[in-house]
Amino acid sequence: MTSSSPDHYEVLGVSPDATADEIEQAYRRLALEYDAGPNKSTDANERFREVRSAYDVLSDRQLRALYDIRWEALSSTKRRSIAPAAPAWLAGAHAGIPRAPWGIPAILAALVIPLLLWVSSLVASAVQGAPEDLSDGEVILGIVLNVLILDGLFVAAPAAFCLWRYRLGWGALGLRPVARGYYWIPPVAAGAAFIGTVVYLAVITAVGLTAEQDVDDLFDSTVVLPLAGVALVIVAPLAEEIFFRGFVFSGLVRPIGLFGAMAVSGLLFATFHVTDAGSALLVPPFAVIGFGFAWIYYKTGSLWMSIGTHFIFNLVAFALQAIATTTS
């Protein structure tokens, strides 16, 4: 779709959220009106060809998904040129997300290797136990392997589908410009997520439970600390948002609905943060946080907003942990 080509939704006179039945009905009505034939005018013939072309695309699930991504990109560009300074939802609208041409089968295929790595890590930790003292080299190796393998897979799998399978750009994964009026969201949302996590930890501590991730070794050395900061504060938010929100969440919206997609992507996000028995109780707050990240992406239409929120949350947590470790 280009700026000069017809808008298929306008041609059929339906909304971008129209169902398959509504598209079918619109096509049949217009086909009767503009049906090409020897006694039809040139304008009517041309109009019928536009109607038929629009129907051929919008009646095919995969073609429509691909068209919608390009339609959304062009439409968002037009909206930004005339957008008010206030956030879109104040006017009762939302920016939305690109309609993904992939679905549950692609998501399951992309999860196979990350899940195997995650399970094997848990099994190894349970069988061998955590060493009391790790050398700097062993800690650095663990960080590098995590960054290069797991986070690398979180970027490689979506890229394979967008850039190779469907010949799309990074914008299909939500890496699109941010509309005006949304820049306050990341700090506010990250602050709310952090306060909520602190309250949750205080409550479960009060009832005699302990939830924590065993990351003390990352903060025990000035050699390891910078690398840990890059991995946890910069690489993790970027890779995890591309995978869990840009790929998993957007791919689940069609088959299971908006809130189902938010919930499932949030739960998967939380699950991958379980590194040992002590961190299992962190699944509920992290699932809620993942749900919130998906909501931010959906409302703003740009993955950069959820990446920014994730970055601030991790930065604050990392900084506080580093300060607590160095002063103890």
Query: H/E/C letters for each residue in 265-296?
Result: HHHHHHHCCCCCHHHHHHHHHHHHHHHHHHHH
Give me 255's structure tokens.
Answer: 């088959």
User: Averaged over 206-219, what is the pLDDT?
Assistant: 70
Instruction: Please give the Cα distance from 15 to 34 (Å, whole number).
Output: 20
Residue 139: name the closest of 211, 231, 212 by CA: 231
Whether the CB-CB separation of 88 and 95 falls below 8 Å is answered with yes
Every domain of the chain and the residues it spans:
8-91, 104-327
**CA distance readout (Å), 231 to 210, 270, 318:** 25, 18, 11
User: Averaged over 197-223, what is the pLDDT?
Assistant: 77
Predicted confidence at residue 220, as pLDDT, reads 64
Please give the model's pTM, rounded to 2 decimal places: 0.72
User: Averaged over 217-229, what is the pLDDT?
Assistant: 71
Asked whether residue 307 carries a pLDDT value surpassing 70, the answer given is: yes
Predicted confidence at residue 215, as pLDDT, reads 59
**CA distance readout (Å), 276 to 33, 51, 112, 212, 215:** 66, 57, 20, 9, 11
Q: Hey, which of 69-78, 85-94, 98-107 has the most confident mean pLDDT?
A: 98-107
Q: % helix / strand / coil in the chain, to the nearest 5? A: 75, 0, 25
- pLDDT-derived band at 86 (thresholds 50, 70, 90) equals very low
To the question of domain 8-91 being in CATH 1.10.8.60, the answer is no
User: Averaged over 295-306, what is the pLDDT?
Assistant: 91
User: Averaged over 65-85, what is the pLDDT?
Assistant: 56
Percent of the chain surpassing pLDDT 90: 31
Query: Taking all residues of the chain, what is their mean pLDDT, rounded to a whole number?
Result: 79
Asked whether residue 218 carries a pLDDT value surpassing 70, the answer given is: no
